[in-house]
A and B are shown apart, each in its own frame.
Chain A
Amino acid sequence: GAVVSQHPSWVICKSGTSVKIECRSLDFQATTMFWYRQFPKQSLMLMATSNEGSKATYEQGVEKDKFLINHASLTLSTLTVTSAHPEDSSFYICSANSQMTQYFGPGTRLTVL
Chain B
Amino acid sequence: GDSVTQMEGPVTLSEEAFLTINCTYTATGYPSLFWYVQYPGEGLQLLLKATKADDKGSNKGFEATYRKETTSFHLEKGSVQVSDSAVYFCALTYQPGNTPLVFGKGTRLSVIA
Taking Cβ atoms with an 8 Å cutoff, the residues of A that contact B are 1, 4, 6, 32, 34, 36, 41-44, 46, 49, 93, 95, 97-107
In this complex, what residue of B is CB-closest to A59? B100
The answer to whether B25 has its CB under 8 Å from any CB of chain A is no
Assess whether A101 is in contact with B42, with CB atoms less than 8 Å apart.
no
Chain B residues lying within 8 Å of A104, measured Cβ to Cβ, are 36, 43-45
Q: How long is the Cα–Cα vector from A89 to B75 in the complex, in angstroms?
A: 32
In the assembled complex, how far is the CB of residue B90 from the closest CB belonging to chain A, in whole angstroms?
Answer: 10
Q: How long is the Cα–Cα vector from A97 to B96 in the complex, in angstroms?
A: 8
Q: How long is the Cα–Cα vector from A106 to B39 in the complex, in angstroms?
A: 10
Whether A100 touches B45, Cβ cut-off 8 Å, given contacts A43-B104, A43-B105, A43-B106, is no
In this complex, what residue of A is CB-closest to B4? A43
The answer to whether B89 has its CB under 8 Å from any CB of chain A is yes
Assess whether B103 is in contact with A44, with CB atoms less than 8 Å apart.
yes
Q: What total count of A-B pairs have CB within 8 Å?
A: 56
Binary interface encoding of chain B residues 82-108 relative to chain A, with 1 for a CB under 8 A from any of its CBs, else 0? 000000010001001110110111101
Q: How long is the Cα–Cα vector from A99 to B97 in the complex, in angstroms?
A: 7
The answer to whether B77 has its CB under 8 Å from any CB of chain A is no
Q: How long is the Cα–Cα vector from A100 to B97 in the complex, in angstroms?
A: 4
Assess whether A106 is in contact with B100, with CB atoms less than 8 Å apart.
no
Assess whether A101 is in contact with B46, with CB atoms less than 8 Å apart.
yes
Whether A103 touches B89, Cβ cut-off 8 Å, given contacts A42-B105, A98-B97, is no
Task: Choose among A95, A99, A102 the residue with the greatest number of B CB atoms under 10 Å from its CB.
Answer: A102
In the assembled complex, how far is the CB of residue A99 from the closest CB belonging to chain B, in whole angstroms?
Answer: 7
Chain B 11-58 residues near chain A, CB threshold 8 A = 36, 42-46, 49
Whether A97 touches B98, Cβ cut-off 8 Å, given contacts A43-B89, A43-B105, A44-B103, is yes
Write 12 A-B pairs (CB below 8 A) sorted by A numbering.
A1-B46, A6-B43, A43-B104, A44-B89, A46-B100, A93-B43, A95-B44, A99-B97, A101-B97, A102-B93, A104-B43, A105-B43
Instruction: From B49, B103, B104, B108, give the contact of A101 (CB < 8 A).
Output: B49
